[in-house]
Structure 1
Amino acid sequence: MTAPDVPVIPVLLAARPLVGGLVVPWITARMPDGRYRFGTVDYHRHRRALRDRLCQTCGGPLDPGRIVFAMRDSDLRLLVSPEPGMHPVCAAYSARGCPMLAGRLRHYRTSDLAAQLADLGVTSHGDPTGSRAAAPAKRWHLLWATDYQPITNPLTGQPAAMVLPEQVLRVRPIGPPTPLGPADHGGDAAAGPASDI
């Protein structure tokens, strides 16, 4: 990542640890040696963020009525987010700083990270089905909502947030769209624009 790709850190995130000039999200897993691993989610913090309505980026309480979720096209169709919500300012920072959200990565990691972390005794998740290794990256959106219901995602068995249609305030695509063919992850490209919600 070059210097122009590193976004300015908002005051709300100034106390968070940094790795490579980027803020480490509150739900990011920490390795036994103390290092943080971007793209790896601390399972307990993830559950707590969803249950207690905490921002996944800064860890602070979310503002009722102004919660932002990062969702892929497939998440938008169901209005179910595997990611906890964020403050608007934390979401804006994440959309610029996170290489996956910003569309700077075209594929997920090639290795099954969960298995490697389990060997280290780290409880984490982020790819509960193990289907993302080397898969093409998907297009992401920011969805503003007035509230959500913590649920167990019926597709993955993992904690998630369900947003009701009447709770959606707006949806905005972030990062360059990733064109997918019908063979890529169930043919998301044929679903049409998700921002029509």
Structure 2
Amino acid sequence: MSIPVPMRCVRQPRAGGRVIPWTTVQTSPRLFLGLPGTEHGVTAAFGALDSARQAAAVTGRLCQVCGQALEHLSVYLLRSADIANGHTVEPALHLGCYAYSRRACPTLNGGSDHYRRTSLNLRTVQDDTTGGTWKQPAADPDRAGHAHETWDAWYVPADQYRVHHGDNGSVGLSLEGVKPLRAVRVRNAALPPDAVALLAALADLFGTGAPADRGACPRTHS
């Protein structure tokens, strides 16, 4: 079943039927005259943030999915580590773009239980919007090959939007003092392989008929 695409995203390039988020590392063509619902010959490293666009989105209050200006309310996608650290590198999203991402993104919808082990081999391309240059996305040692963590969504009003400046010159969204209007559990952490195997063995033993991978990507609903 196809997932309805937000009107803000109908003219964005797609790969594998999915809208490529504006901040995702991707190959050219950057400019195209495509029709909604068509593929645009673009290769994307889903899950890898382009540093130039990530910074532009955070400082310019832009949505990470559509690249358009955020409004009175935005959604922060947060891992447990982000909440503990008090900031996140993930730019915010419109409500509609978040709703689409929650259904289309394997990390958020439970369709994937591990991060990609290695990065895609993408040639460096010129970013015609921010004037920066994309580099081949390097695998994040804190994520590459690891099981997905717990992800939450915070609904944050515009007057609590603050930029976090890291010691290394990076920027992100500050969570200090943020009181979300709503907090939603998007997905639980993926279980390690030995725990999945144990659950499968117990299911077989007690005849519950639960599939072997049922515990790998639990899905929760608000």
Alignment TM class, shorter chain as reference: 0.7 to 0.9
- Provide the residue aligned with 2:213 in structure 1: none
Q: Give SS of 2:75's match.
A: strand
1:164 Cα deviation after fit: 3.4
Q: 1:62 aligns with which of 70, 73, 95?
A: 70
Structure 2 contact 107–148 (Cα < 8 Å) conserved: yes
- Provide the residue aligned with 2:196 in structure 1: none
Q: Does 1:82 align with 2:101?
A: no
1:127 Cα deviation after fit: 6.0
- Provide the residue aligned with 2:171 in structure 1: 159
Q: 2:144 aligns with which of 116, 133, 140?
A: 133
* Residues 89/73 of structure 1: CA separation in 2 closer, same or farther (3 Å cut): same
Structure 2 contact 77–90 (Cα < 8 Å) conserved: yes
Q: 2:60 aligns with which of 52, 66, 75?
A: 52
1:60 Cα deviation after fit: 0.5
1:102 Cα deviation after fit: 1.6
Structure 1 contact 27–42 (Cα < 8 Å) conserved: yes
- Provide the residue aligned with 1:110 in structure 2: 117
> Alpha-carbon deviations, 1:120-142, whole Å to 9, x = none?
433366865x2211111111111
Give me the CA root mean square deviation.
Answer: 2.6
* Residues 88/140 of structure 1: CA separation in 2 closer, same or farther (3 Å cut): same
1:77 Cα deviation after fit: 2.8
* Residues 151/127 of structure 1: CA separation in 2 closer, same or farther (3 Å cut): farther
Structure 1 contact 137–178 (Cα < 8 Å) conserved: yes
Q: Give SS of 1:100's match.
A: helix
AA of the residue aligned to 2:22: W
**How many residue pairs end up in the alignment?**
170
> Alpha-carbon deviations, 1:69-121, whole Å to 9, x = none?
1111121233412100011111111111111122221111112x28x55xx43
* Residues 145/41 of structure 1: CA separation in 2 closer, same or farther (3 Å cut): same
Structure 2 contact 148–189 (Cα < 8 Å) conserved: no
- Provide the residue aligned with 1:149 in structure 2: 162
TM-score (norm 2): 0.67
Structure 2 gaps of 5+ residues are 30-41, 125-133, 193-222
Structure 1 gaps of 5+ residues are 181-197
Q: Give SS of 1:168's match.
A: coil
TM-score (norm 1): 0.75
Structure 2 contact 109–187 (Cα < 8 Å) conserved: yes
Q: 2:22 aligns with which of 26, 29, 43?
A: 26
Structure 1 contact 43–124 (Cα < 8 Å) conserved: no
- Structure with higher RCO (Cα < 8 A, 6+ apart): 1
Q: Give SS of 1:70's match.
A: strand
